[in-house]
Structure 1
Amino acid sequence: MAHPPSYYAATANDHTPPAPLAGDEEADVCVVGAGYTGLSAALHLAERGYSVVVLEAERIGWGASGRNGGQLGVGQRKDQRSLEEMLGREWARRLWDLGLESNALVKDLIARHRIDCDLKPGLLHAGWKRGDANWLKEEVEHLAKDYGYTAMRYVPREEIREMVATDCYHGGILEEGGAHLHPLNYALGLARAAREKGVRIHEQSPVIEVTQTDPAAVRTTGGTVRARHVVLACNGYLGKLEPRVAGTIMPINNFILATEPLGARARELIRDDVCVQDTKFVIDYYRLSADGRLLFGGGESYSPKFPDDIASFVKKPMLRVFPQLKDARIDYAWGGTLAITMTRLPNFGRLAPNVIFAHGYSGQGINIATLGGKLIAEAVAGQAERFDVMAKLKTPKFPGGTLLRYPGLVAGMIFYALKDRLP
């Protein structure tokens, strides 16, 4: 089975055929899931000398890793002042340092393994409401004063109108360390690098059971992998595989479209070719592709099902920002599933001494999931201090558990979506 239709699938640059698990294998570590977390963990473990098998139910980057907006942020999903209020200055500072490292790690992996994924610099946070502009300006000042971080600057309303061809925004932050990339080709590049280090990747091999033994037996319909350690890296596709942590995440769907190539109009929309995301609770995010299309993500969906017409669904928020694109042809439209947590911070932990997991990146997956894989490799190797910085974050379960969490989500999302529409 190929990847679901999308602009990313149509422009994927690695077409290695799948090799499903057939028979029994042994490894030091079995990784379940071939997204950013699993591929990064496999690569870093292999570099440490571990034998690694990766089992993927579908194809590499099948989930959010191959369908997301391609925005590479700096830091965690929560802003730094909120982290300080939640966790105190010392813990928040450690998360900030890990967040900076996560961004640098992605860029280092791309350079070191020569991953062709259209990496471009710059991320613009755009203030949707008038009051957001003051908040954004204060965040820049806080990071410069208390963290010594000066690789971002405040952009006033007049300048942001010159950078982005819309009147929607009241100010913004330009993150010079932020970037954007082709997310599926990044995942495929990680997989290639892992294979070159000896990692065995079996796609189309859904896991049906992980035994509570040492070594563990990870079973698929085609065979079994026996391993001293197991890494669960399933994120929004965890399903019923591990009910002990399933309730800490909420799988939700997000949607993106790609216009026709816009030629010279593309840089008229986004002057400096940076990626953009706004400050709404249900955010719009967009950027230009390597061939000059607008890739626009947005819209709200409160059902596990995809809309019947994704293109029309996403075109509505796109035209609120760029009404001048009303006649632009839509060439691709797709959706995907990600996992959010109640706190919007990821959920790391252990289910047994030999079973470790990380998921729930809440839209900050490119950098934090890649770092998560590296921290998992450190923890498997017995150096768990940095993994534990993340694992100590308290991740409450969604009210109602896995069966009744969606009604609560619907109520909450409707409330915040209404707030987005108010002045």
Structure 2
Amino acid sequence: MSNNKRNIPHYSEQGQYPDSYYAASTNPKPERPALQEDIQAEICIVGCGFSGLSTGIHLTEAGHNVIMLEGAQIGWGASGRNGGQIVNGLNASLQKIERAYGRDTADYVGGVVMRGGDIIRRFVADYDINCDLKKLNFFAALTNKHMEELKETHELWKRHGIETRELIGKDEVKQYINTDAYVGGMLDYSGGHIHPLNLALGEADAVEKNGGKIYENTLVVDIEYHDDHVLVITEFGSVKCDKAVICGNAYLNKVIPKLTDRVMPVSTQIIATEPLGDLADELIPSDLCVEDIRYILDYYRLSADKRMLFGGGTVYGGTDPADIEGKIRPNMEKIFPVLKDVKTEFAWSGNFALSFSRVPQMGKLHERVFFAHGYSGHGVTGTHLFGQILANAINGDTSEFDRFAQIPWIPFPGGRALRVPYSVVGSWWYGFKDKFGI
């Protein structure tokens, strides 16, 4: 066995979940072993977040022999820490995609991005996953300029045959959200929200029900490419496989420098209040999830036990702020002043992988090695879609894979050394525009 060829530091310490509301309310999970021997498989998937799990389910449903490796625990990264919102679309709007890559690419993306939410609902139904699945999300406008942007977006989605969205004026907002902060917004009836960690755990169970095998706390330290196989090397074992799929995203951990340099880790933060009881129904009577459309946005929703889960903020480079509550709570109180004296019981942070174009990336590192990453903060649905596309490509249908793989990768200006300061300056400028409605 080739063992520990590179000195790769472990990104997750002991692999324990962060002290989040999600970790405190998980469904029971089995103990899964670490890989400590040399084994063989048809397909090895690196990373047990949503991308890897969606790929694993689709492949095992098709009868493939699949091994999955997770450096910490199932959903330890962004998949188990995020806002839990089923938001249709990518971080980059269809308008931006059309300007950057042409109308043909925008038309193609507009035709497939709705599938991610449908895949989630299918998994939940087919595998009886208990993850507090709820309906409806809302894009909130804080200014008249935001509202004009939403009108443009609404028309563009309609052009792609998507009729699930409805514009809402200021007078109608309080039917859905009891705040004076918004001048209007847009409902998406095909959106929704979930307990993301419990979704990930349920999807892992689904992989195993279909015959797949998952190893947790198994750090990948290197990958060797050979003409007739791939060797995925871990700390204490290895997997010899016909094909490999790399789904490490923000926590790939320098194993593959070519991928590490393509994206930048960015942290975002969430707080969870104490249960609000009847007040929760007064604040969000529709029980939908909300995100505004600023560059540095707020996003929030109610949990199943009626806590306010409120997130936002960004730290480029992926470090955690010293005071998460101090950073996020003022934003929550601007939207809901009545929550000023409500206790915060959980505060956590986590990284997502940001691509410069805000468009996820998919491709091959080798004829036998596929990858997908860079969902840029809108990964709940995108990961599930990309998992399906990756599985289809391995099954021989590369039509959708090729379309995404051909979208040019745009590097961060100045390369890896300048990607953080460049993004900080950009963030400051867009934050300035958000603040003053420019």
Q: TM-score, normalised by structure 2?
A: 0.93
Residues in 2 aligned to 1:360 and 1:304: alpha-carbon distance in whole angstroms: 14
239, 252, 265: which one pairs with 2:266? 252
What's the CA shift string for 1:157-180, capped at 9, x where partnerless?
121144212222121000000010
Offset at residue 418 of structure 1 (A):
1.8
| Cα pair 2:142 2:292 within 8 Å, conserved | yes
| Cα pair 2:139 2:290 within 8 Å, conserved | yes
Residues in 2 aligned to 1:409 and 1:142: alpha-carbon distance in whole angstroms: 28
| Cα pair 1:75 1:103 within 8 Å, conserved | no
Q: Give the partner amino acid of 1:187.
A: A
Residues in 1 aligned to 2:297 and 2:89: alpha-carbon distance in whole angstroms: 18
Residues in 2 aligned to 1:102 and 1:241: alpha-carbon distance in whole angstroms: 28
| Cα pair 1:302 1:409 within 8 Å, conserved | yes
Point out where structure 2 has 5 or more consecutive residues left out of the alignment: 1-14
Q: Which residue of 2 aligns with 1:406?
A: 420
1:182 aligns with 2:199: no
| Cα pair 1:302 1:413 within 8 Å, conserved | no
107, 119, 131: which one pairs with 1:117? 131
| Cα pair 1:32 1:56 within 8 Å, conserved | yes
Point out where structure 1 has 5 or more consecutive residues left out of the alignment: none
Q: Which residue of 2 aligns with 1:43?
A: 57
* CA shift in 2, pair 1:302/1:77, >3 Å: closer
Q: Which residue of 1 aligns with 2:208?
A: 195
171, 179, 188: which one pairs with 1:166? 179
| Cα pair 1:8 1:184 within 8 Å, conserved | yes
| Cα pair 1:75 1:98 within 8 Å, conserved | no
Q: Report SS of the residue matched to 2:114.
A: helix
Residues in 1 aligned to 2:51 and 2:23: alpha-carbon distance in whole angstroms: 20
Q: Give the partner amino acid of 1:205.
A: T
1:331 aligns with 2:362: no
Q: Give the partner amino acid of 2:179.
A: T
1:215 aligns with 2:219: no
376, 386, 401: which one pairs with 2:390? 376
1:79 aligns with 2:93: yes
Residues in 2 aligned to 1:361 and 1:304: alpha-carbon distance in whole angstroms: 15
283, 294, 298: which one pairs with 1:280? 294
144, 147, 153: which one pairs with 2:160? 147
1:305 aligns with 2:313: no
What's the CA shift string for 1:232-275, capped at 9, x where partnerless?
10000122111112222111001000001001110111120000
44, 48, 59: which one pairs with 2:73? 59
Residues in 2 aligned to 1:241 and 1:331: alpha-carbon distance in whole angstroms: 36
Residues in 1 aligned to 2:245 and 2:314: alpha-carbon distance in whole angstroms: 32
Larger CA deviation: 257-266 vs 74-83: 74-83
88, 99, 109: which one pairs with 2:113? 99
1:355 aligns with 2:369: yes
Give the number of equivalent residue pairs: 422
Q: What is the identity percentage for the equivalent residue pairs of Structure 1 and Structure 2?
A: 39
| Cα pair 2:280 2:308 within 8 Å, conserved | yes
Q: Give the partner amino acid of 1:266.
A: A
Residues in 2 aligned to 1:415 and 1:135: alpha-carbon distance in whole angstroms: 19
1:239 aligns with 2:260: no
Q: Which residue of 2 aligns with 1:90?
A: 104
268, 272, 276: which one pairs with 1:262? 276
Q: Which residue of 2 aligns with 1:367?
A: 381
Q: TM-score, normalised by structure 1?
A: 0.97
Q: Give the partner amino acid of 1:200.
A: K
Residues in 2 aligned to 1:374 and 1:282: alpha-carbon distance in whole angstroms: 30
What's the CA shift string for 1:91-136, capped at 9, x where partnerless?
2222112111222111111111111100100010001222111221
Q: Which residue of 1 aligns with 2:48?
A: 34
Residues in 2 aligned to 1:93 and 1:115: alpha-carbon distance in whole angstroms: 33
Residues in 2 aligned to 1:23 and 1:41: alpha-carbon distance in whole angstroms: 24
Offset at residue 137 of structure 1 (A):
2.1
| Cα pair 1:36 1:187 within 8 Å, conserved | yes
Q: Which residue of 2 aligns with 1:393?
A: 407
Offset at residue 302 of structure 1 (A):
4.0
| Cα pair 2:290 2:300 within 8 Å, conserved | yes
Residues in 2 aligned to 1:388 and 1:370: alpha-carbon distance in whole angstroms: 17
Offset at residue 308 of structure 1 (A):
2.0
Q: Report SS of the residue matched to 2:186.
A: strand
Q: Which residue of 1 aligns with 2:169?
A: 156
Residues in 2 aligned to 1:81 and 1:413: alpha-carbon distance in whole angstroms: 20
What's the CA shift string for 1:8-39, capped at 9, x where partnerless?
00011032113100101100111110000111
Residues in 2 aligned to 1:166 and 1:239: alpha-carbon distance in whole angstroms: 41
Offset at residue 202 of structure 1 (A):
0.5
Residues in 1 aligned to 2:247 and 2:317: alpha-carbon distance in whole angstroms: 24
Q: Give the partner amino acid of 1:119.
A: L
Offset at residue 43 of structure 1 (A):
1.3
